[in-house]
Chains A and B, each alone.
Chain A
């Protein structure tokens, strides 16, 4: 099957999201669709999937024009898509989720016995270790993605679109996914990978198409292309401003101190975490996802009750037991999963930017200078679209991340806690966030930076600690750090 999108143009108000894009794809091919945040990658694919209607242009399958005006029509035409935000029902089991979307599922499901696994073929092939009886709420993000992929393959999709599939995966899961994508392609299906990671392109794709500001600027074989080549195509004439390293702090006196902190709930826990961060120091925390990073970050920021220990800022215990009482003036906090943890999704960008500064407004709200400030923040942090009245939930993952940074990485701070602050950001935006984050260290704040990117941690952090199953396994200075030791700690080998 050959799919051809020809002359696709799509506008959202003033923004030209796709500008007469023509792109084709044949059976057995893996195409990486590369571009910066907001370049129009997702829009183009949502048009192919029937989610949006193009303003002009059309889609041809095997040379014949087809009308794809809904996801249902797309599926009928053999096009399936796995979204960044999964469409799974957490309260149901893996099997139930799969059967809900299965075209031939029986009306009455066998609840026990051999018959109940007759429908699991695809999933078994993709994820032999996944227990079909597990509740989706309890499985990992990588497994959820495999479940979504199995749902799409069950529909006999000839073209599979994956929207930034590796942005939520651990390095190991990413490797497994690459293998799987190759396997799917070898079966004669076509795969489109929406991505902004060069690694995805280099390791996995046959061809790379690059979008820049809605226009297709490259469509070529990816063979022999290096990350630098790709970066050059993606950002066009512009150059990426890399963040600079921050000099080590002059004094090692602790500004921010964590003493024996424990906390937890049904979903995970941390125990006896202790470390000190000097003013001006960047303290990196590495670890595979799900090691308790989110709980630790919440405890440091004071938004979660501690079951033991204390958090000390400038010699004063700011959090100890009981309910958290966040210090919103002195502590900047970027939590993981900003949609759930850092924004009011159904309220507009302006409200979300001033969420923590409401007390500075008069009782009868007057926005006044806050409107100009909103416009400036959206501009400075390159949040797209720059519409202060748009709801936060309507932003793409990367832009949401920038929005939260715009709130948390402005104004004076004594401590900044950043949990995966560059998740979903392209290379230019990542460096821009790093510059702002590390600038706080330069100004003397204590910076705690939780990341999964060992290369970046080893380049920018002054010291790196590794968290495993809620405990700090070891801490090294940048000079002493080597990938192998850190990697072993991340897998639980004792220091």
Chain B
């Protein structure tokens, strides 16, 4: 018997075992962020409550949280989908830009077309743009074993530069007085919003994709074959599975989702293509995917929490004159709490 072993029977029930990591992570996160606020010289729990209010306090806060959640959710899916084959991709922001770029290009080219045709066409273009940007590292990986983490990382910079080239160069709106951006896109391609707020259809795309892909991965024959390929490529290939093709396919799906996220932001939030729109969504999504253990359903609540932190930090910046970096710090604390608690618990389970 270990001297400090917890031996509480209610902790051993299946429900408790399932909820323990979540509960423990939440407690640790609350503890360390309170400590962080205290170090900044604020009343820790009061400020924490302000964070909650800033994210969920009223309809405006809540819908702003949803606005931030949508791209994080999509980018997290973009990282978690290739992980089904054991691929570690960090390329969501580059794919995000390429999706935004191609989608915007289609709108600029066919501006006169009816929204009913143009909007789906724009989203399709965005998905194709993101997919294309992800298929490049996918192909390199399949054909020459090029490390996909590095190639996706590097393509992020190229993706951002392509958008800059477009908005400083050929697509620049002369009426924007030197501001690097395209002209404002027509209202016909603005994504439908709900709750009379900025919350847009992108969130619904994320939810449907998360649930749909989760079912596909866990219930379908293809999902099983992906698990086999991830577990042992050689065995999968000797059972007649096409590993290389599936690498390219799964990378394309992940990239398409990130590309979609890019166009949703342009269409629903910014109204035009401009630099810097990817913010940190790509990396935040990557962190969310890891916190969720690449589980597509668990990604949903975690994206919401990350979105909430982003939305609340805007409010804290405004009303408590805290620096903007507060969001990054809180996200990092959450990430560390979840990973540390997860690691600690799984180590105890083994012991």
Contacts and interface: CB of A to CB of B under 8 A. Distances in A.
A328 B237 CA distance: 10
A383 to B, nearest CB: 17
Contact of A303 (B219, B224, B228, B234): B234
Interface of B: 219-222, 224-225, 227-228, 231-232, 234-240
Nearest to A341: B234
Given A303-B237, A340-B232, A363-B220, 13 more contacts: A324-B238, A328-B239, A333-B238, A335-B238, A341-B234, A343-B235, A347-B227, A351-B228, A355-B236, A362-B221, A363-B222, A364-B219, A365-B219
Contacts of B222: 363
Interface string A311-331: 000000000000011101000
Question: Taking chain B's interface residues, is the majority helix, strand, or loop, or is none over half, making it mixed?
Answer: helix
Contacts of A344: 227-228, 231-232, 235-236
Contacts of B225: 358
A326 B228 contact: no
Contacts, number: 65
Contact of A343 (B224, B227, B232): B232
Question: Taking chain A's interface residues, is the majority helix, strand, or loop, or is none over half, making it mixed?
Answer: loop
Interface residues of A, number: 26
A364 B216 CA distance: 8
Contacts of B236: 344, 355
A406 to B, nearest CB: 15
A23 B300 CA distance: 56
24 contacts: A301-B238, A303-B237, A324-B237, A324-B238, A333-B238, A342-B235, A342-B238, A344-B227, A344-B232, A344-B235, A345-B232, A346-B231, A351-B224, A355-B235, A355-B239, A356-B240, A358-B228, A358-B239, A361-B221, A362-B221, A363-B220, A363-B222, A364-B220, A365-B219
Nearest to B236: A344
Contacts of A326: 237-240
A369 to B, nearest CB: 16
A326 B239 CA distance: 7
Given A326-B240, A328-B240, A364-B219, A358 B235 contact: no
Nearest to A343: B235
Nearest to B223: A365
B224 to A, nearest CB: 6
Interface in A28-44: none
Interface string A1-44: 00000000000000000000000000000000000000000000
Contacts of A363: 220-222
Q: What 4 A-B pairs have minimum CB-CB distances, sorted nearest first?
A: A344-B231, A303-B238, A356-B239, A344-B232
B2 to A, nearest CB: 10
Contacts of B219: 364-365
A301 B219 CA distance: 31
B79 to A, nearest CB: 21
A358 B237 contact: no
Contacts of A346: 231
Contacts of B235: 341-344, 355
A265 to B, nearest CB: 13
A361 B222 CA distance: 10
A78 to B, nearest CB: 23
B243 to A, nearest CB: 11
Contacts of B240: 325-326, 328, 356, 359
A326 B235 CA distance: 11
